[in-house]
Amino acid sequence: MILELAFAAECAYIVTHNTKDFKGSEQLGINAITPRNFLAIINRKSTP
């Protein structure tokens, strides 16, 4: 259900500790990443 919701909402990421539960989500354009990786991404984007 979460993958369907993320796809319908056009999300780029699913942030979870259980990335293995979302194997193959990349085929829909959604990356399952850990909270640590997500924080690293948003920190890079906010740093000038």
> Residues 1-48: pLDDT tens digits?
999 999 999 999 999 999 999 999 999 999 999 999 999 999 988 877
pLDDT of the residue at 47: 76
pLDDT of the residue at 43: 92
How far is the C-alpha of 31 from the C-alpha of 15, rounded, in Å? 8
How far is the C-alpha of 3 from the C-alpha of 40, rounded, in Å? 22
Number of domains composing the chain: 1
pLDDT of the residue at 46: 82
pTM of the model: 0.83
In terms of residue numbers, what domain contains 13?
Answer: 2-46
